[in-house]
A and B are shown apart, each in its own frame.
Chain A
Amino acid sequence: MPVLDLNTFNTLKESTGADFISELIDAFLDDAIIQMDEMRTALDANDAETFRRAAHSLKSNAATFGATDLTALARELEMMGREKNLAVGNRLEVIKEAFELVKRQLNELR
């Protein structure tokens, strides 16, 4: 799966204006870190609902940017949260790695 679907990214860039995309990338990257922190905290507190919400927001934003891989991973975690199944194994580490790849590519595309 590609890190970033350039078709989706370019459509987003065009529709919001090229000068705005950097601001939008910043909001996404900042919020993604917060969302991943929230998932970690919720996991420790065994709070499936907060976990699900954080995964849901991360999934939504990743999809907006065309981050296909990251979207799929976040969706999987959202589903687990919905089913109150927090046996996520190493998935939080995996999603962090996927995020770093997205971050690198987005920074190159600014």
Chain B
Amino acid sequence: MLNPIPEPAHLLVVDDNKVNRMALSRSLEVQGHVVETAENGREGLEKFRSGAFDLMLLDIEMPVMNGFEVLEACLNDLDLRQIPIIMTSAMEELDAVVKCVELGAEDYLTKPVNPILLRARVNASLEKKRLRDEQRKLFRTFATKEVAEELLRTGFSLGGQLVTASVLVADIRSFTTIAESQDPSDSIELLNQYFSMMFDAVTQNGGIINQIVGDGLLAVFGAPIFYEDHRERAVKAALQMLDQLKVFNEKQLAQNKTAIRIGIGITSGKMVAGYTGTHNRAIYTCIGDTVNLADRIEEYTKEALRPLLIDAYTREGLASQYKVEDLGKIIFKGKNQAVNVFAVMGG
């Protein structure tokens, strides 16, 4: 296992110098990769956009569009910025190389390129890309592409940030009773179907799933990426959940299976958001009164006999087409001040 043979990768070599192009692409082909070439920056960028490449080797000094411009265009492109770019340059251009690496290039090689260094840097970059791709796949099951990219970009630094966002808490009514009355595998199957509906509703409205505990879930809208309309997004997601659940229940009942009812509580305001845990295991989460209140309000749906309840600040963020009913001020356990609760109609 000293030198694991890497998977062949699809590489792009961009260089205006023919000898460089030939020597680099041939060396990489000898190492088992599939290589395409481009003669200038613009051609390189076009090829990079249209083909599924795993890595690009990019010269800095080129006509038409130089390496800087290509690098910047790639880093600003959501689909391209995860593909590693290794800058190739002459010794005398080290200042330029440093600038590229600061901008976001994965690595660099000086010309003439040493074949051993070439192999090592290309393989290391491909391996890092493979790990990032796995991470991204994992993230995407919990969040939208945009949120997943933001999380990857900002990294996993532990530590909080004060954000203004909306929190959605959803829970299945008497799931324990349902679980006790049927086969365990049926319960898991039911939960999986339920969560896949709920996840879609959250991610389609720009939210991110923060926690799943048993049959409950907590989603946040407006963090880590801020949305001006985070309150409306949360309510939209909740209404979508209720709509889809209605369709789901009709199908369940038609097959003589269990129907499920849920309660949803939404609150908005300031909260601390960030990664908690250790460097080995961390989750993105939200903490604060706003989050606790969402739990309480969700609990209150049982008493209020309404599936979707929100607080006053969330209500202020809704356009007039949303019909809400004022349920008055409620005093929740552990809170000194009464909270004005609203039921959202429809759904």
Contact = CB atoms under 8 A, between A and B. Distances in A.
A28 B20 CA distance: 10
Contact of B19 (A11, A14, A20, A28): A28
Contacts of B319: none
A15 B19 contact: no
Contacts of B22: 16, 23-24, 27
Given A15-B115, A56-B61, A64-B111, A27 B30 contact: no
Best-buried of B92, B112, B118 by chain A (most CB within 10 Å): B112
B18 A60 contact: no
B23 interface: yes
B114 interface: yes
Looking at chain A, what size class is its interface with the partner chain?
20 to 34
A20 B111 contact: no
Contacts of A60: 17, 19-20, 90, 111-112
A89 interface: no
B17 A11 contact: no
Nearest to A71: B112
B90 A20 contact: no
A8 interface: yes
Nearest to B111: A60
A59 B90 contact: yes
Given A31-B18, A60-B90, A16 B111 contact: no
Interface in B168-188: none
A29 to B, nearest CB: 10
> Chain B's interface: helix, strand, loop or mixed, by majority?
helix
Contacts of B323: none
Nearest to A78: B92
A100 B61 CA distance: 27
Given A24-B19, A56-B61, A63 B112 contact: yes
Interface string A7-32: 01001101111001001100110010
Contacts of A12: 23, 112, 115
Interface in B88-121: 90, 92, 111-112, 114-115, 118
Interface string B17-31: 111101100110010
A59 B118 CA distance: 20
Contacts of A64: 19-20, 23, 111-112
Given A11-B115, A15-B26, A60-B111, 6 more contacts: A14-B115, A15-B115, A24-B22, A64-B23, A64-B111, A64-B112
Interface of B: 16-20, 22-23, 26-27, 30, 61, 90, 92, 111-112, 114-115, 118
11 contacts: A15-B23, A15-B27, A15-B115, A24-B22, A27-B22, A28-B19, A56-B90, A57-B17, A64-B111, A64-B112, A75-B92
